[in-house]
Amino acid sequence: MPFFEAFRLAIQTIRAQKLKSGFSLLGVFIGVASLIAAWSIANGVNRYMTEKFAQTLYGVNTFQLRRRPMFTPNVPDSVWRAWARRPRIRFSDAEAISEGLTVPVMTAWQSSDQVTVSYGNKEARDIELTTASERYFDIKNLGIAMGRPFTGEENRSGAPVAVLGDAVAKRLFVDRTPLGKSVRIGGVPYRVIGVVEHQGSILGFPLDRFVVVPALSPAQNLVNPPGILDAFLVKARSDPEMREAMSQAEGIMRGRRHLRPKQDNNFVLDTSEGVQRFWAGISRILVTVIPGIVVVSLVIGGIVIMNIMLMAVAERTREIGLRKSLGARRRDVLRQFLAESTAIATVGAAIGIFAGIGLTILINKISPLPASVSPASVVLGVIMGAGVGVVAGVYPASRAAKLDPITALRQE
Amino acid sequence: MSTVQLFRTGDTPLPDVIILTHKLTREYDMGSELVRALRGVSVQIQKNEYVAVMGPSGSGKSTLMNLIGCLDTPTSGEYWLNGQKVSDLADDELARIRNKEIGFVFQTFNLLPRADALHNVELPLIYAGMSARSRRDRAAHALQRVGLGDRMDHRPNELSGGQRQRVAIARALVNEPSILLADEPTGNLDSTTGLEIMALFRELHDSGQTVVMVTHEQDIAAHAARVITLRDGVVATDQARAA
């Protein structure tokens, strides 16, 4: 019997026994659907983390000179204590690097802490106060929704002007214009000159609860001791130029800190790579956990199919006997039942693929994750589905093929 | 009665001898005892004979039928079918012989319930590796031959008992086998329908088909031209009837 005949027969049988076949393809369906959906989510999380998360926190082609990395998952206490003993970054460090770099870059100072901002009797608590220089808005890609950012002149003179995050403006001024109004930060009045565009949130953390003021304005005493900053931001025009700028900055800092060649840096040049590495680690976990789920459901699916096929062989013993008496060879019967189990599993895999793609689209719609279906997962889904069908079908099919036609025909 | 060649081990049957068994035995090892179902059966059936095999239950007629139908292999002895020694063939070769040389008709029809008449008749041709188009033509022709040209798309449960057996006969004939091998073909039919089937057998025999029929009913056996009676695993009588 040619394979096409076997497959046609399999489809006929499946259509004749819809309910039973439906149950038997459930396991493969779940396995493949979860494979594709989980793979898509992992993909999406990965892209989200590398593109949006990292760039929002760090900016493109940007590195930060810091005492310790900004993003520090799973760091042992000893490392924390070592970081805490490091000298802090000084204004003079930032100035020296600005003067020393030969690569064209954009730089900004930045220090931050949580404060309360008030307007009249209204208060906004736990607002991130950032004292920064004027290029901060450009480097962080913060668009201005109304008003203007502060100027270099205002920064150098330490003018008491403030640019509000969207959430702060809404909290304090509701729907009136905040421009020209005076808010109090640490008891000092600041004139609002601008409001930043709505930034949304990242993994549930709101990104609009901040105020930016000039680095040399009075509020600098709220965030850091005099002459100290949290980070010095350097944005280059391209990745190679950023790397060049990093190595120059490293040289300058090592010189200023009098580090001998064998000594490690007692500062970091932090880029989004660290975050990306961290997320790569998480997605590796996903990538190892997901196959577990997939394998379990495929194994269950395979066992279900095997049982259904064993039942089918028992039920159709007479049919097998008849087919043999009409000239079916062992391999014809084997092929018939293998085709049937493979068809069941493949149909399950096909439905699973559609469900997985549907799930991915749904995740795209209702969550910020840009989940996308990976073609490799679809191919793998089909292969594994069909593979389960073959593996689960071998034993029942070989039982069917070995049946003695006389005994089989006599069976009621 | 036809002339019978005296057959010895090592001989080859005459060309017009379709079935030749020589000292055929079949024993079943039932664990505690050895059941000797056939104890040396030697028969020759020639082309275009119409033979009934009779005998009480336990006489070995089913065993003989299984051996002639190539569903089973003998413990000893020879079996020649259409000039080929089949008693020592392997499984797959026996399947090919069943497909090409033997047309089975069963007491319980053994049709596939989910398939229509045409597809049921097509089955042997599928295993013969024939193309879909010629299969359809051949199957339709076979159904017309048994008078069911207008019932091709009916499923077994839409057909009467007699019609079902006709579908089974069409299936048996579709590969133009050397022998039509029927096992109690009227056993599940009322006497009128049984007679219709016997008339069809007669017709097929008249057109040149060799027919071997196993039955325990005297009336049905009476339709055959020759009756072989088995008792205790050996041939008891072998009589030609007046045509």
Task: Please determine, for residue A227, whether its predicted confidence score (pLDDT) is greater than 50.
Answer: yes
- The SS3 of residue A226 is coil
A329 and B96: CB-CB below 8 Å? Answer: yes
Q: Is pLDDT of A255 > 90? A: yes
Q: Considering only alpha carbons, which residue of chain B is nearest residue A17? A: B114
Is A339 an interface residue toward B (CB < 8 Å)? no
Question: Are B110 and A328 an interchain contact pair (Cβ–Cβ within 8 Å)?
Answer: no
Which is nearest to A131 in space by CA: A101, A78, A94, A176? A94
Q: Closest Cα of chain A to B180: distance in Å?
A: 12
Q: Domain map of chain B by residue range?
A: 48-74+97-240
Query: Could you tell me what percent of chain A has a pLDDT over 90?
Result: 49
Specify whether the CB–CB gap between B24 and B74 falls below 8 A.
yes
**3-state percent breakdown (helix, strand, coil) of chain A, nearest 5:** 60, 20, 25
Question: Among A390, A299, A403, which Cα is nearest to A3's?
Answer: A390
Rounded to a whole number of angstroms, the distance from the CA of B91 to the nearest CA of chain A is 8
Residues A204, A235 contacting (CB under 8 angstroms): no
pLDDT at A2: 62
Beta strands in B55-183 (DSSP E): 76-81, 84-85, 102-105, 179-183
A72 has pLDDT over 60: yes
Phi and psi angles of residue A158, each rounded to the nearest 5 degrees, phi first: 65, 40
Q: Per-residue confidence at A35, pLDDT binned at 50, 70, 90?
A: confident
Tokens of A60: 């493109």
In angstroms, the separation between the Cα of residue A314 and the nearest Cα of chain B is 15
* A357–chain B Cβ distance below 8 A for any pair: no
Give the CB-side neighbour count of residue A358, counting CA atoms within 13 A.
8
Cα–Cα distance for residue pair A69/A83, rounded to 1 Å = 9
Contacts of B99 in chain A (CB under 8 A): 326-327
Higher pLDDT, A369 or B188: B188
Handedness of CA A140, A143, A147, A153 (dihedral sign): positive
Does B48-74+97-240 carry CATH code 3.40.50.300? yes
Q: What pLDDT, on a 0 to 100 scale, did the predictor assign at position B74?
A: 93
Tell if the CB–CB gap between A326 and B91 is shorter than 8 Å: no
Query: Is beta strand A161-164 parallel, antiparallel or unpaired with respect to A62-66?
Result: unpaired
How far apart, in whole angstroms, are the C-alpha atoms of residue A406 and residue A253?
A: 91
Cα-Cα-Cα-Cα dihedral sign, residues A325, A329, A334, A335: negative
Q: Which one of B114, B127, B214 makes the best mutation probe of the A interface by having the most chain A beta carbons within 10 Å?
A: B127
Q: Give the Cα separation of B14 and B80 in Å (integer).
A: 10
Question: Could you give the CA distance from residue B46 to residue B179 in angstroms, rounded to a whole number?
Answer: 10
Q: How far is CA A149 from the centre of its chain?
A: 32
User: Residue A323 above 80 pLDDT?
Assistant: yes
Q: Which residues does A321 contact at the CB level (< 8 Å), separation at least 6?
A: A403, A405, A406, A407, A408, A409, A410, A411
User: What pLDDT sits at residue A17?
Assistant: 76
Minimal Cβ distance to B99: which of A5, A13, A327:
A327
**Nearest Cα residue to B229 out of B61, B45, B63:** B61
The answer to whether A11 contacts chain B (CB < 8 Å) is no
Would the CA dihedral through A298, A304, A308, A314 be positive or negative?
positive
Rounded mean pLDDT of chain A? 87
> Token pair for residue A155?
């920064």
Residues forming a β-bridge with A202: A205
The predicted structure's pLDDT at residue B242: 61
Helix, strand, coil shares of chain B, percent, nearest 5, are 35, 25, 40
Q: Determine the distance in angstroms separating the CA of A325 from the nearest CA of chain B, rounded to an integer.
A: 6
pLDDT below 50 — which residues of chain B? 1-2
pLDDT of residue A1: 57
Q: Residue B231's beta-bridge partner residues?
A: B234
CB contact under 8 A, A326 and B114: no
Q: Which of B71, B112, B175 sits opposite A325 (nearest CB)?
A: B71
AA identity, residue A142: L
Distances (CA, A) of A269 to A71, A108, A245, A274, A381: 12, 14, 10, 10, 42
Name the minimum distance, in Å, from the CA of A28 to any CA of chain B.
27
Interface of A with B in 167-226 (CB under 8 A): none
Q: Which residues, 6+ apart, have CB-to-CB distance to B70 below 8 Å?
A: B81, B86, B89, B94, B97, B98, B101, B102
Chain B: residue whose CA lies nearest to A324: B95
Residue corresponding to tokens 């070592």: A82
The average pLDDT across A55-74 equals 82
Distance, in Å, from the CA atom of A385 to the CA atom of A363, rounded to the nearest integer, reads: 24
CA distance A156 to A214: 8
Cα–Cα distances (Å) from A391 to A17, A272, A298, A314, in that order, read 21, 46, 11, 19
**Interface test mutation site (partner B, options A11, A323, A325, max chain B beta carbons within 10 A):** A325
Mean pLDDT of A186-194: 93
A316 touches B: beta carbon within 8 Å = no
The whole-angstrom separation of Cα A328 and Cα A325 is 7
Name chain A contacts of B106, Cβ cutoff 8 Å.
Answer: 409
Residue of chain B whose Cα is closest to the Cα of A327: B99
Indicate the SS3 state at residue B105. Answer: strand
pLDDT digits 0-9 by tens, A330-353:
999 999 889 888 888 888 899 999
Nearest CB to A1; choose among B72, B91, B126: B126
Q: Which residue of chain B has the CA closest to A322?
A: B110
Nearest to B135 by CA among B151, B148, B121, B149: B121
The fraction of chain A above a pLDDT of 70, given in percent, is 96
Better-predicted residue by pLDDT, A175 or A92: A92
Cα-based distances in Å from B17 to A122, B5, B53, B80: 115, 9, 17, 9
Closest CA to A309 of A340, A347, A284, A279: A340
Helix (H/G/I), strand (E/B), else coil: A95:
helix
Pairing label, strands A231-236, A62-66: antiparallel
